[in-house]
Amino acid sequence: MSIVGRERELASLRGRAVGEPGARALVLVGEPGIGKTTLWEAGVAAARSRRVRVMAARPGESEARLPFAGLIDICEGLGAAELAELPAPQRRALEGALLRADPAAGSVHAGAVEFGFGTAVRGLAAGVPLVIAVDDLQWLDRSSADVLAFAARRVGDARIGFLLARRPGRATELERVLERGSVARIEVGALTLGAVRRMLRERLGLTISRPLLRRVVEVTQGNPLFALEIGRLLLEQAVAAADEIPLPDSVEAMLGGRLARLPAGVRTVLLATALSDDLRLGVLTAVAGSDAVDEALHAEVLAVDGEYVRAVHPLLAAVARKRSTVRERREIHGVLARVVDHEPLRARHLALASTGANEQLASRLAAAAREASARGGRQQAVNLATHALLKTPVDSAASVGPAVRGARGVARRHVAGSGPAAVGRGRGVPKPGRGRRAARARAH
């Protein structure tokens, strides 16, 4: 599938050999649906065509709380032999963070992980140029972002570059570090009228009058994702005149309309992608069935990236979640709890699938919170500890037992956004069985 209307951006991507001297980093910035990911993928392909090694991650919003989730993706192709060349303390720490071994001494030392990754990538770059590529940088988990920023500070003369894509907003810490060197920033803007016309013709087989085309561009502000959605509506409703163009009240309404027209199985596929972190194709098939997965691929709402799957655009998954019922979400969480193989994720899905207090589940969640805390997963630890407290019966012996005390300790140490005084008082940490409604809202 050709990329339409992005000749200038593609020329910049292909002309700037990221990772070579004088080309430390390239950052793509643009609104949702504007085409950042398409250009990012083109940049990755261009790097690989030059025989550059690419280490890539495509984090999603639901993964932002998972410790080292992005780093795990980035290091997916890092082999055991390459890790074996690291100093033993760095290797053990990095393997623990990557879930390839139990953390040494029961916890992951963030500094050792950072040094280990930095040593690893400099060693790789001694052989071939290396590009670290991250799409949707705004969703990269904090642990992984810290590791990348640490490595970027110590790149030196190594042939290591960064290809990043993110939404508009404040520059990330990684970008601020990279700005000490050579960084190019591409603002991905609206498509022209001619580009929208060509895209509608090539992608949808749709040819429309010039007045109607102008109206489409005006309504969508040249955003390709939204223009395609309007194009699908035009095809379905056989609109011929510019003043008859269907105008949803919002982007959510537009995508919600498309969602409502999809088969039920495909909607289940999209909801599963919204509710699960780092979803594998096999897990999704177990949840929704192979026929629904095939239908979702045919409808172009699902993308496969190696063994992982994702919605073609995060907004589609977000709308699927927002428009689902509590019962539908609980059912999906219940199936996911049976098929995922990572205990903290399994425990969280069990918590979200169940109703009411459950002493056994509370203990399991507390243990998962301790595991997440040991791996440096602050947000995940707080989330799991909160679920543990919510699932503890008020009058149960467990409400004053070691599991709950441990969960409260995890939450106090890591509670997000609280200063030392607030943490000392336990502010934001629910007591077993109390304040359930507000705390449950935060936990979800």
Q: What is the pLDDT of residue 423?
A: 31
Tally Cβ neighbours within 10 Å of residue 303: 16
Task: Please say if the pLDDT value at position 53 is more than 80.
Answer: yes
Instruction: Give me the mean pLDDT over the 203-214 stretch.
Output: 90
CA nearest to 204, candidates 183, 230, 178: 230
Domain boundaries, the chain: 7-187, 193-247, 250-341, 362-444
Mark 389-417 as b/e (b = at least 16 C-beta within 10 Å).
bbbbeeebebbebebbebbbbbbbebbee
Q: How far apart are CA 395 and CA 372, in angstroms?
A: 27
| Six token digits for residue 428 | 């934001």
Each residue's pLDDT tens digit, 240-271: 554 555 556 667 777 888 899 999 999 999 99
| Six token digits for residue 426 | 């336990």
CB 438 within 8 A of CB 400: no
HEC per residue, 262-322: CCHHHHHHHHHHHHCCCCEHHHHHHHHCHHHHHHHHHCCCEEEECCEEEECCHHHHHHHHH
Q: How far apart are CA 344 and CA 370, in angstroms?
A: 10
Look up the CATH number of domain 7-187.
Answer: 3.40.50.300
Each residue's pLDDT tens digit, 169-189: 999 999 999 988 778 899 999
Each residue's pLDDT tens digit, 114-164: 999 999 999 999 999 999 999 999 999 999 999 999 999 998 888 999 999
Each residue's pLDDT tens digit, 417-436: 433 333 333 444 455 444 44
Q: What is the pLDDT of residue 405?
A: 56
Instruction: Give me the mean pLDDT over the 46-66 stretch.
Output: 88
Q: How far apart are CA 329 and CA 348, in angstroms?
A: 13
Instruction: Give me the mean pLDDT over the 10-14 stretch.
Output: 85
Each residue's pLDDT tens digit, 348-394: 999 999 998 888 999 999 998 888 888 777 778 888 888 888 898 87
Report how far Cα 158 is from the mean position of its chain's Cα atoms: 28
Give the residue with greater pLDDT, 61 vs 113.
113
Q: What is the pLDDT of residue 298?
A: 93
Task: Please say if the pLDDT value at position 94 is more than 90.
Answer: yes
CB 204 within 8 A of CB 175: no
Amino acid at 77: G
Q: CA 307 → CA 76, 298, 371, 377, distances in Å?
A: 11, 18, 26, 24
- E strand map for 188-278: none
Amino acid at 348: R
Each residue's pLDDT tens digit, 278-333: 799 999 999 999 999 999 999 989 999 888 899 988 888 888 998 999 999 999 99
Q: What is the pLDDT of residue 23?
A: 54
Q: What is the pLDDT of residue 70?
A: 94
